[in-house]
Chain A
Amino acid sequence: MRFVTEFRDAELVRGVIDEIRRTVTRPWVLMEICGGQTHAIMRYGLDQLLPPEIELVHGPGCPVCVTPLEQIDRALAIAARPEVIFCSFGDMLRVPGSQHDLFSMRARGAQVRVVYSPLDAVKLAQENPDKQVVFFAIGFETTAPPNVMSVLQAQALGLKNYSVLVSHVRVPPAMHAILGAPGNRVQGFLAAGHVCTVMGYHEYPPIAQQYGVPVAVTGFEPLDLAQGILLTVRMLEKGQVEVQNAYPRAVTYEGNRAAQAIIHKVLQPIDRNWRGIGLIPQSGWGLRPEFSDFDAEKRFDVGHIQTQESPVCIAGQILQGFKKPNQCPAFGTTCKPEHPLGAPMVSAEGACSAFYRYGR
């Protein structure tokens, strides 16, 4: 399979890892931003092949993991309404709110549907004019373009029964939060390749400069990851503070301008709570006022729902790279994929789930 097989080639990966080994002279802490990268690292056992000087810590880039608890409780409140068909990406169904998850709501009779694309939800709204169709629009910059496209599509079709529960988050403010936190250990970043496919990487040089931390835009296959690590280690060893692109087959400096344009047409930056981390200023996207007719929070009046996190779960410390999942007292005991206490154990991209599945 082209663009996949060659990036999993053992010989090539080994060559890059040998080069990392020749380059590294002292310990470095790198963070991969994206949960998809965490999973690829664990799934291929890439971390086991790296020289011991390199420590990878896992970043907050799992959209399911960082969706705040109150947003999930709002989703559950909306899904419980008899007139609602609640649509979500699959991962989100198992994420525990403060009482239930969407799976158990479905078992209680709520109409909860897994969709593969937000446009499927728009289609459902067309087919069910007597129902209110709500799409749970979560994710980073990667999922924002299709999600806002569904709003534009619904608007073009004149649909009055379609709305979105928006919980979008953005990478750059999260990087600021991690690098600016007291006790930060991260010395180099592997930026999330798919986020950069949409957004480009022009937002990162100021961050790299402000904190003196090099960044390599990195893909998701083992060879991509090894290459991103190599570029970052080279910069660290030379004392360079730059942003380099280790994923040029997908990412350009400017990114996808058309996708950025529709995002900015529909969404605007807002303050957002991150599950386990707390409020990060301007770290989220919300609907612009001119699209408030499509705002499910307003339509179903759930904005007042606020909730507290489980005190046992250390998701926040894991998502900021302070701790590894297996340093959590609940890991693998009271918290498992079938009974997750916190979101990183839920999603296919969550760091705790990756550790549990591949690394225990």
Chain B
Amino acid sequence: MSETFPTSFEGPACPLPLAHHEQIVMGHGSGGRMTQDLIRRVFYPRLASEPLSAGNDFARLSLPDEANLAGTLVVSTDSHIVTPLFFPGGDIGRLAVCGTVNDISMAGAIPLYLTAGFILEEGLPVETLERVAASMQAAAREAGVQFVAGDTKVAERGKVDGLYINTSGVGWVPAGRSIGGEGAQAGDAVLISGTLGDHGIAVLQARGELGFETRVQSDVAPLNGLIQQVLAAAPHVHVLRDPTRGGLATTLNEIAAQSRVGIWLEEEAVPVLPAVQAACEMLGFDPLYIANEGKVIVIVPEAEAEAALAAMRGHPYGQNAARIGTVRADPPGRVLMRTLIGGTRVLDVLTGEMLPRIC
């Protein structure tokens, strides 16, 4: 009919499927060719390891040589949801690596292997995923851990907020090391590796709802290096714990309950950045209840307290480390704080979501 219609062809031709290299579509979670393509293009170049490249549905892992099959394994898992995906000082990828590396490190373990599960929202730019994967690569390299297994699923647009990441990790605890929340004893010193509340305020700021600006950066960081340095200087550390959600106050309450001891803090000694303090003053928040992603509470016998503190201060992530309190026998299960003006207050656990106050 029309002269522009092709006059000859070799056979019926179907339109080629689009490659969808720019944004995530449902097919990327199908388990078929598109999934493989995404893994090959985005994840392998950044997160590859020998077990991952073997292409099995499992990863075969070995203990470090010095383990000699002695010691114990620790495992931990954590899912990460954060809005926005990128914030000053970090992003969801760095958070997902550091969160699990740190949880494992709190046993005094050497983190070895990580797995990552991604739940992606249909429509997520592939470029965003690439940036997140690159950030995970950098954090994993810094922490000295390998990605050994992964999974990707895609959910319909609107059912996921961009991207969720679950990471699980395995670490090795050398024989003879026993560190845990149940270990605090009366007379121990309570140390913190740096300023409190940076992460929570940085993320809140990045949401752009505050109506004022701060230059606070998230503290998200892998703490295994700092912790190994502390353990070398103070081998009898009783408790390591990272005060993430719920902040320092909630985490210390967990430890006080597990160890059946009283924890007494000195408000004056608790390090808080002036910008974080100012944001908290305006919002009616308490920095002791705000999340941290790169801080560790160290509870250590008095005799090793100074050595532990010096070791922390000698590490880039521990420069503002401080001694903030003491463990006592009483009152068991409670955290108390001597206030700036010399009164005493109870520090309770955080109830639900932290809410900005009215006026």
Contact B357 A44 (CB under 8 A): no
Query: CB-defined interface of A86-99 with B at 8 Å, one 1/0 digit per residue?
Result: 00011111100000
Contact A14 B342 (CB under 8 A): yes
Chain B contacts with A in 315-358, Cβ cutoff 8 A: 339-346, 348, 351-352, 355-358
Contact B357 A348 (CB under 8 A): yes
Known: A1-B277, A43-B339, A116-B211. A358 touches B356 (CB 8 A): no
Known: A44-B340, A45-B339, A49-B341. A114 touches B355 (CB 8 A): yes
Q: How far is the CA of A13 from the CA of B357 in the complex (A)?
A: 26
Interfacial chain A residues near B69, Cβ < 8 Å? none
Contact B274 A1 (CB under 8 A): yes
Min C-beta distance of A150 to chain B, whole Å: 14
Known: A116-B211, A358-B346. A138 touches B356 (CB 8 A): no
Query: CB-defined interface of A69-110 with B at 8 Å, one 1/0 digit per residue?
Result: 000000000000000000001111110000000010000000
A360 within 8 Å of B by Cβ?
yes
Contact B340 A10 (CB under 8 A): yes
Min C-beta distance of B215 to chain A, whole Å: 15
Point out the residue from B209, B345, B356, B359 that lies within 8 Å of A42, measured CB to CB.
B345
Contact A114 B342 (CB under 8 A): no
Min C-beta distance of B276 to chain A, whole Å: 11
Looking at B211, B348, B355, the one whose CB has the most chain A CB atoms below 10 A away is B355
Contact B277 A90 (CB under 8 A): no
Contact A44 B278 (CB under 8 A): no
Point out the residue from B339, B344, B359 that lies within 8 Å of A142, measured CB to CB.
B359
Closest to B268 in A: A10
A347 within 8 Å of B by Cβ?
yes
Interface of B is mostly: loop
Min C-beta distance of A112 to chain B, whole Å: 12
Contact B359 A63 (CB under 8 A): yes
Contact A358 B281 (CB under 8 A): no
Contact B211 A44 (CB under 8 A): no
Q: How far is the CA of A117 from the CA of B210 in the complex (A)?
A: 9
Known: A1-B278, A120-B209, A359-B346. A90 touches B352 (CB 8 A): no
Closest to A141 in B: B359
Q: How far is the CA of A228 from the CA of B225 in the complex (A)?
A: 51
Point out the residue from A36, A49, A91, A336 that lies within 8 Å of B343, measured CB to CB.
A49
Closest to A225 in B: B341
Known: A1-B278, A63-B359, A347-B357. A45 touches B345 (CB 8 A): yes
Closest to A356 in B: B348
Interfacial chain B residues near A140, Cβ < 8 Å? 359
Q: How far is the CA of A27 from the CA of B100 in the complex (A)?
A: 57
Q: Range of interface residues on chain A?
A: 35 or more
Contact B342 A94 (CB under 8 A): no
Q: How far is the CA of A44 from the CA of B277 in the complex (A)?
A: 16
Interfacial chain B residues near A349, Cβ < 8 Å? 357-358
Query: CB-defined interface of A330-345 with B at 8 Å, one 1/0 digit per residue?
Result: 0000001110000000
Known: A1-B274, A10-B340. A44 touches B355 (CB 8 A): no
Point out the residue from B283, B339, B341, B358 that lies within 8 Å of A139, measured CB to CB.
B358
B284 within 8 Å of A by Cβ?
yes
Contact A348 B345 (CB under 8 A): no
Closest to A354 in B: B345
A194 within 8 Å of B by Cβ?
yes
Contact B357 A90 (CB under 8 A): yes
Chain A contacts with B in 193-209, Cβ cutoff 8 A: 194
Point out the residue from B343, B351, B356 that lies within 8 Å of A114, measured CB to CB.
B356
Interfacial chain B residues near A138, Cβ < 8 Å? 358
Min C-beta distance of A276 to chain B, whole Å: 18
Contact A357 B358 (CB under 8 A): no
Contact B341 A1 (CB under 8 A): no
Min C-beta distance of A102 to chain B, whole Å: 11
A188 within 8 Å of B by Cβ?
no
Contact A222 B278 (CB under 8 A): no
Contact B339 A44 (CB under 8 A): yes
A160 within 8 Å of B by Cβ?
no
Known: A4-B281, A14-B341, A116-B210. A91 touches B346 (CB 8 A): no
Contact A116 B341 (CB under 8 A): no
Contact A43 B348 (CB under 8 A): no
Interfacial chain B residues near A43, Cβ < 8 Å? 339, 345
Interfacial chain B residues near A90, Cβ < 8 Å? 355-358
Chain A contacts with B in 124-167, Cβ cutoff 8 A: 138-140, 142-143
Interfacial chain A residues near B277, Cβ < 8 Å? 1, 4
A-B interface, 9 closest residue pairs, ranked by CB to CB distance from nearest: A45-B343, A90-B355, A337-B351, A358-B345, A90-B356, A142-B359, A13-B341, A44-B339, A89-B358
List 13 other contacts, CB 8 Å, given A90-B356, A91-B357.
A4-B281, A10-B342, A14-B342, A36-B357, A43-B339, A45-B339, A45-B344, A49-B342, A116-B209, A120-B211, A138-B358, A337-B351, A357-B348
Would you give 28 A-B contacts (Cβ < 8 Å), ordered by A? A1-B274, A1-B278, A10-B341, A43-B339, A43-B345, A44-B341, A44-B343, A45-B339, A45-B345, A46-B343, A48-B344, A89-B357, A90-B355, A92-B358, A93-B355, A103-B352, A116-B210, A116-B211, A138-B358, A140-B359, A194-B359, A222-B340, A336-B351, A338-B351, A338-B352, A348-B284, A357-B345, A360-B346
Contact residues of A with B, CB < 8 Å? 1, 4, 8, 10, 13-14, 36, 42-49, 63-64, 89-94, 103, 114-117, 120, 138-140, 142-143, 194, 222, 336-338, 347-349, 356-360
